[in-house]
Amino acid sequence: MCFIFYMNMVFPQASKQEIGTIGLKKNAIYATLGVYVGEFYVTFLGNYERLILQFPRSFVQSMWIRVGAGPWAWWSSNGWNYTSTLSVLTGRKNTHLELGSGVLFSYNSYNKKFEPLAGNSHLAGNLGFRFQKPGGSFIFRTGIGWPEFMYLSFGICF
């Protein structure tokens, strides 16, 4: 005689009070379009971001690391941007102030070498607004930065 015991686990929906404690999802993929009309500069970056630290009771909510790559065009030159930044987010709800800094390597297709786009600096950075709902799957970013100048980003979190 054989007895089979089967246990069915049920997971109830989270209450509204529990949803408020859910943090941001750890991964984000988004596309960024950056423009500077005065110099006829445009760049398009594909980005991957990973949450590396969370601060549950601090003004700084989380710390992220980002890598991105994409083409750029400026007057008669063009090439590719490769960037990596460390960013911090403030705010606990849907809207966040985003501050980032890092490195930028720009490949110039005309000269066929890596060189800074401006001056002698390989620095990257941004200051912007970010909409990312805790537990949500949508991300929207806008602000100013380098190499993007004025930028808009749309993507998903998972």
Burial class (CB in 10 A: 0-12, 13-18, 19+), 49: buried
pTM of the model: 0.81
Sequence ranges of the domains in the chain? 25-157
Mean pLDDT of 113-129: 86
My answer on whether omega of the bond before 147 falls inside 30° of 0, hence cis, is yes
Q: What CATH architecture applies to the domain 25-157? A: Beta Barrel (2.40)
Residue 23: its pLDDT value, please?
A: 82
Residue 27: its pLDDT value, please?
A: 97
Mean pLDDT of 134-148: 95
pLDDT, tens digit (0-9, with 9 covering 90-100), for 66-86: 999 999 999 888 999 999 999
pLDDT-derived band at 22, boundaries 50, 70, 90: low
